Amino acid sequence: MMNNVTNITKFWISGFTQADGSFVVGFEKRNQGLIPYRPRPMFVLSQHVREENLFREIQKHLNVGRIQITRNEVNFVVSSLEEITNVIIPLFDKHPVRDGKYRSFLVFKEVVKMMNQKEHTTLQGFMTILELSDFTHNTSNRTLESKQEILTNLKNKFKVLPTIHEESLLDSLENSSSAIPLDKEFVRGLVDGDGSFNFSFKSSRRRVVPNFTVTMGKGDEQVLHDLVKFFDCGKVYPLPSQSSRFQIENVNDLLQKVCPFFETNSLITTKQEHFITAVEAWKLLANHSLTDDVLKQLVDLVYNMNQGGKSRKLTKTQYLAKFIQNSI
């Protein structure tokens, strides 16, 4: 169940894109023209399939794109050059994403500009777009043809290919938007995308640690440092996966700084339900000693809140049996 799906704003979309969006340039074969390939820019948002209704509201809000559903994932995809030019690019020009994703957007925008000027129909222009496409975010989403296969086929046709110095192209792009203070709607969208309200139940000792976290991939770490300033608390930790995590675990900071923000800036994904439950648990931790009764209440509230407790080393029953006598 979502909170208020009509509460979608342009900066919310920007923050949500920072978390779960991609600016992708794929390539598809064509049977006419000088170049046997056509670039295919795509703007993509992805989330768990439970957010399908929200994604349909995003589609309705922007009045572009299409919804694609797989077994566990829902995607909002805009691949029409006209829709990207007239809706997507103006949206992010006025409500920018940040850091590495902002640079990806600028590259994406340049590719779209070149296509609108028909430069992709020339060998020089197509090669420039092919090189630039490596710098769009989440290039693992490139579809249809790999870069090496494209280069091989082009060499077979043209024998000699122009040399493209992509560094000079990137240097001509604008700098990051990270100097702009975080907008509260951006933060709301960011947390709806990649935020988490969770609790660590230590399996080796009787201790419960609350966490509010936001995780970003390599190149977007500055967003997390901006969150530290925004909430005036928390820290940023590097992760082994080359990503980083913003984290607040002090229960007083959670109640005094995080809670007031989301009480007046409600989330619109299922994370709103997690937030409401988390606040109840934060208050238990702040106002009571960790007695058997309080520990039971916490376990009932939040032990299986995230992913049904699948990541826990112990089941709820095993945990209670280990730390509370006569718990069953």
Q: Is 195 found in the same domain as 160?
A: no
Judgement on whether residues 167 and 198 belong to the same structural domain of the protein: no
Q: According to the model, what pLDDT value does residue 175 have?
A: 59
Same domain, 51 and 92: yes
Which residues lie closer than 8 Å to 2 by C-beta, 6 or more apart?
51, 53, 54, 268, 269, 270, 272
Q: Are residues 229 and 288 in the same domain?
A: yes
The pLDDT score that the predictor gives to residue 141 is 46
Are 93 and 102 within 8 A, CB to CB?
no
d(CA 278, CA 267): 13
Binned average pLDDT, 10 residues per bin, the chain of 328 residues: 68 97 93 92 96 96 96 96 98 95 93 97 95 70 70 93 77 64 96 96 91 93 96 96 94 98 96 96 95 94 83 88 74
* DSSP state at residue 178: T
Which residues touch 41 (CB under 8 Å, ≥6 apart)?
23, 24, 25, 79, 81, 84, 108, 111, 112, 115
Question: What per-residue confidence (pLDDT) applies to 178?
Answer: 59
**How far is Cα 105 from Cα 89, in angstroms, rounded to an integer?**
8
Pair 188, 111 in one domain: no
d(CA 7, CA 94): 19
* Alpha-carbon dihedral 280, 283, 287, 290, rounded to 10 degrees: 60
Residue ending a domain, among 171, 204, 222, is 171
165 with 196, same domain: the answer is no
**Domain of 76: which CATH number?**
3.10.28.10
The confidence score (pLDDT) of residue 2 equals 45
With respect to residue 4, please indicate whether it lies within any of the assigned structural domains: no
Same domain for 53 and 152, yes or no, is yes
Domain boundary, last residue among 171, 195, 220: 171
CB 38 within 8 A of CB 10: no
In a domain, 106, yes or no: yes
Query: Residue 1 domain-assigned?
Result: no
Q: Which residue blocks in 267-315 are alpha helix, DSSP H?
A: 271-287, 292-302
211: exposed, middle or buried (C-beta count within 10 Å: 0-12, 13-18, 19+)?
middle
Q: Tell me the residue range of the domain where 110 lies.
A: 10-171
When divided into structural domains, the chain yields a total of: 2
In a 13 Å sphere around the CA of 262, the CA atoms on its Cβ side amount to 30
Name residue 188's amino acid: R
137 and 194 assigned to the same domain: no
- Does 37 share its domain with 126? yes
3-class state of residue 328 by DSSP: coil
pTM for the predicted model, two decimal places: 0.91
pLDDT at 118: 96
24, 140 contact by CB (below 8 A): no
